[in-house]
Amino acid sequence: MKIRYISTILLLAAGLFATSCDVEEDYPVRTGEIISEITTGAASVTAIAAEVTGTVKDLSLVSSASYEVGAYYGTDADPITAGSKKSGSVDENGNVVTSITGLSTGTTYYYATYVTLQDKVTKFGDIKSFVATNAVVVTNDAAEITSSKATFTADISGTDGLGSFETGVKLSLSADDITSGITRELTEVGGLLPGTTYYYAAFARIGDGFVYGETKSVTTPTQQMEYVDLGLSVMWAKNNIGADSESETGTLFGYGDQTAMMTSTRLEDYLNIDIAGSNDDLIFNLDLDGDSPMKSLTPTHAQITELVNNTTQQWTTVDGVEGVQFTALNGNSIFLPVTGYRQGETTVADGAGYYWSGNVSTVHSDYANTLTFSDASAKSGFSKRSLGLALRSVRAYAEVTPESGNLVFGDLENNGRLRIEIYNEFGETAAAPPIDPASIKFAKNMVVSFTLSGITDNLKSDAAGSYVAGLEYSDPSWGVSYWSDLNMGKYEAMVTGDGTYTVWMEVTSQANGAIVFCVDIAGLWNDIADWSKVGVAVNSIKLDADVEQAVNQSIVSFGNKDGNDVDGRIEIYNEYSSSGATSPGAYNESLKFNGMMLVDFTISGIDGNLVEGASANYRTELSYADADWDPGYWGGASYGGTTVTGDGTYQVYTYLNGDCEGAIVWAIELYDLWVQLVDPTKVSVTINKVITPGKY
C-alpha cells in the first residue's frame, strides 16, 4: 500500500542529531517507529454526505493531545494537495471515522486518511474514491436459515447513470460495527456459527463508497453435534464447525478466533496460548451438546496425534468432495473434507485439509499445531496462527462419577435386597445426593459400574452364593424408566462375591434427569453374616455409551464342534482353528470389557436342509474364554441361551465376572444341529453385533 509523507520540518544536517535534539522534534526519524500502519478504508455514502473510514496503528504510543486524525477529500484525483481537510475520531483499536457533509449528488470524490503528529509530520493512507448518490438499498429478511447458513437478498434502486457497481451484504456480531463487518455475496452464505445472532445490511458499492440498507438481525438455530466413537480417548464430531454435513468445509478460523469474523494477517491479533477446553475455546463456548452433560472442545495436539496413529486413512470422495476417511479398529469412521486455507480474505484451495488443534506449537510460538492431510498422508502438523483453518470438535464420553461418601446402601425397602441408592427423591439421598440428578441425560443407554467388597467369606452357611443385580430407574416424567425384575436378563449382573459388576439399560426416547436411581441385588442382604465388613462404590455412570464390539466377519465360520459329528458351532474366533491361523490374536487389542457379552447373529441354510425326523429345535449358547483363559464361560447357566428353530436372527448372552481382554476361543454352540443337517456347507452365519456394556 502506498504511504505518502508531508513534513513541516526540514531535515537538518546529520551532525545535529549526533549532538542533541528534543525527542518530540525528531519526527522525520521517529515517525516510522510510532506509526506502523495507516490505511484508507471504505466510505458510507448518501446523496450529500459520506462517512469515510481508515486505520492508524499504533497511536497508543503517544498521547491523544499530540496527534490529529481525519481525511483529506475533494473532486481532484489528488485530494492530498488539492482537497479539503476534515478532522475525525479514532478508537482504541486505531479505527478512524470522518464525517463529510455538503456533497453534490452524482459527483465523484477522492479521499485519503491522514494522521498528523505534533502539527509537524503528516502521514497518509492510499487514495480512494466514492460517488455521492441517491441510490436506495432495501435489506430483505434473511431466509432458508440453518445452523450454519442463511440466504440474503436486497432490492436496489436509483442506480441509473452510475455505471457498474457491486452488491453484497455485510455481516457483524454487533449492529454498531456493521460497516466493518465481513462482506459476502447476496446469496446463500455458509460458515455461520450455530446459536449466534448476526446483524446484516445489504449494500451497493460504487468505487470505494457503500450505500447501505437497513441493518437487520438473524439468529441461527443451535446445533446438536453428532459424535462418533472411534475407540479413542475422546469422540470425534461428524461435521466441521459451521457445516451442516460431513462433506462441507464449514468456517475457516484464525487460531483462537471466537467470532469467525477475523481476517487480519497480523500474528499479534491472534491468541498465543493453549485454548483447548478453556474459556478462549470457541467450540467450548458454542451450544453443540444438547442434553449431553459433556462439553464439546477443540482437540488437543495429543488427541490429533492419537487419531492419526490409531486409525487407517483412505483418500475418498463424499458428496463429490475429496477428503480422508479415518477408520478405527472398532469399525467406526469419520470423513474430513479438504479445506484449503484462508490468508487474509483470500481462500487458497490447494487440495489439502488443515484443521486447528487447541495448542500453540512448542517449537515456534508463531505457529499452532494442526491436523494436516493430502492424498498422500495424514499427519500432525503446524500452521501460522493468522491463517484461517477448519475446526472439528471432540467430546469426552458422557460419564458421571458419584460422590462415594453420599451413597446410601442397605436393606432400604425391607425386602431382603441390598439396595445401592444413587439418588432417590423419596429416599435418604434426596438431602445430600451423590450426583446431580439433572446430569443423568441419555437417549440410548445408561451403564453403571459398581464394586462390592466384604462379601466373599462373609456369607451365612446356608447362603445362595449368587445374586442377581439390576437397575431401578425413572426420569422425572416416570415415562422413561427401567425396573429390573431381578431375573438374569441381558441388563442384569450375576453377583458372586467381591468384585466389579456392570448393570445397564436401554431406552427409545430421551431421559432427562433422575427421580429414582438405584441398583438392587436380590436376596444379598439376608445372606450376609456381618454387614459392618461390606463396602460399596459406584465407579461410573456412562451415558449413551458405545456398547458394541467390532467383529471380523471374514473369519467367522460354521462347523462341527470339536469334531464330535453331533453339534454345530459358529466360530467367531478360535486360536486353534482356521480363524486363529488367519488372524492370530485377532481380538487381543480390541476386545476389552467387564460383565455381560451378548451376540446377535443371523443363520441361514437350515430350512429345507434337515434330515427326516429332525427335531428342528436346537439349544444354543455362548462359549468364550479371554486370551488368558480366565474369565471364561462354557455353558450350563440357566439364562442367556436360546433355541434355534430354523433360519432367522437370534441372541445369546452370558455374564462374565472379571475383566475380559482379548479372546482365545469364542463360539456359539448349536447342540445336535450338525448331525441333523443334510448338507452342512449350505449353512451360513452373519454376526450382526456383539454387545458388551462394560466395554473399556
- Asked whether residue 399 carries a pLDDT value surpassing 60, the answer given is yes
Assign a CATH topology to domain 136-219: Immunoglobulin-like (2.60.40)
Amino acid at 224: Q
- Is 591 or 292 the better-scoring residue by pLDDT? 591
Q: Is the pTM of this model over 0.75?
A: no
DSSP H helices in 535-631: 578-582
Q: DSSP secondary-structure letter at 528?
A: B
Query: What is the average pLDDT across 473-490?
Result: 97
Query: What is the average pLDDT across 510-537?
Result: 96
Predicted confidence (pLDDT) per residue in 601-635, tens digit: 999 999 999 999 999 999 999 999 999 999 999 99
Question: What are the C-alpha distances in Å from 246 to residues 396, 582, 609, 681?
Answer: 20, 35, 46, 43
- Is 404 or 3 the better-scoring residue by pLDDT? 404
Predicted confidence (pLDDT) per residue in 53-93, tens digit: 999 988 877 788 889 999 999 999 999 999 999 999 999 88
> Given this model, what pLDDT does residue 229 score?
86
> Given this model, what pLDDT does residue 617 score?
97
Predicted confidence (pLDDT) per residue in 305-338, tens digit: 999 999 999 999 999 999 999 999 888 999 999 9
Amino acid at 319: D
- Asked whether residue 9 carries a pLDDT value surpassing 60, the answer given is no
Q: What is the share, in percent, of the chain residues with pLDDT greater than 70?
A: 95
Question: What are the C-alpha distances in Å from 666 to residues 175, 465, 571, 574?
Answer: 65, 27, 6, 6
> Given this model, what pLDDT does residue 21 score?
34
Predicted confidence (pLDDT) per residue in 501-517, tens digit: 999 999 998 898 999 99
Nearest to 145 by CA among 182, 213, 194, 199: 194
Query: Prior bond to 58 cis, omega within 30?
Result: yes
Distance CA 385, CA 199 (A): 27
> Given this model, what pLDDT does residue 510 score?
84
Residues 6+ apart with CB under 8 A from 376: none
Assign a CATH topology to domain 4-131: Immunoglobulin-like (2.60.40)
Predicted confidence (pLDDT) per residue in 245-255, tens digit: 999 999 999 99
Nearest to 182 by CA among 200, 206, 164: 200
Nearest to 622 by CA among 687, 575, 693: 687
Phi-psi label, residue 541: left if phi above 0, alpha if psi -120 to 50, beta otherwise: beta
DSSP 91-160: -TT-EEEEEE----TT-EEEEEEEEEETTTEEEE---EEEE----EEEEPPPBS--SS-EE--EEEE--T
The count of other CB atoms within 10 Å of the CB of residue 460 is: 11
Can 4-131 and 136-219 be said to share one CATH topology?
yes
Nearest to 623 by CA among 596, 644, 595, 654: 654
> Given this model, what pLDDT does residue 28 score?
39
10-24, 333-347, 444-458, 503-517: lowest mean pLDDT where? Answer: 10-24
Instruction: Show me where the domains of the chain are located.
Output: 4-131, 136-219, 227-395, 399-543, 548-691
The sign one gets for the Cα dihedral 180, 183, 188, 192 is negative
Strands 121-124 and 4-7: antiparallel
> Given this model, what pLDDT does residue 25 score?
38
What are the start-end ranges of the E strands in 279-376? 296-297, 311-318, 321-328, 333-337, 341-343, 346-348, 353-360, 367-373
Distance CA 180, CA 163 (A): 25
Give residue 163's pLDDT band: very low, low, confident or very high (50, 70, 90). Answer: confident
110, 73 Cβ separation under 8 angstroms: yes
Predicted confidence (pLDDT) per residue in 626-674, tens digit: 999 999 999 999 999 999 999 999 999 999 999 999 999 999 999 999 9
State whether residue 215 is helix, strand or coil.
Answer: coil
- Is 572 or 35 the better-scoring residue by pLDDT? 572
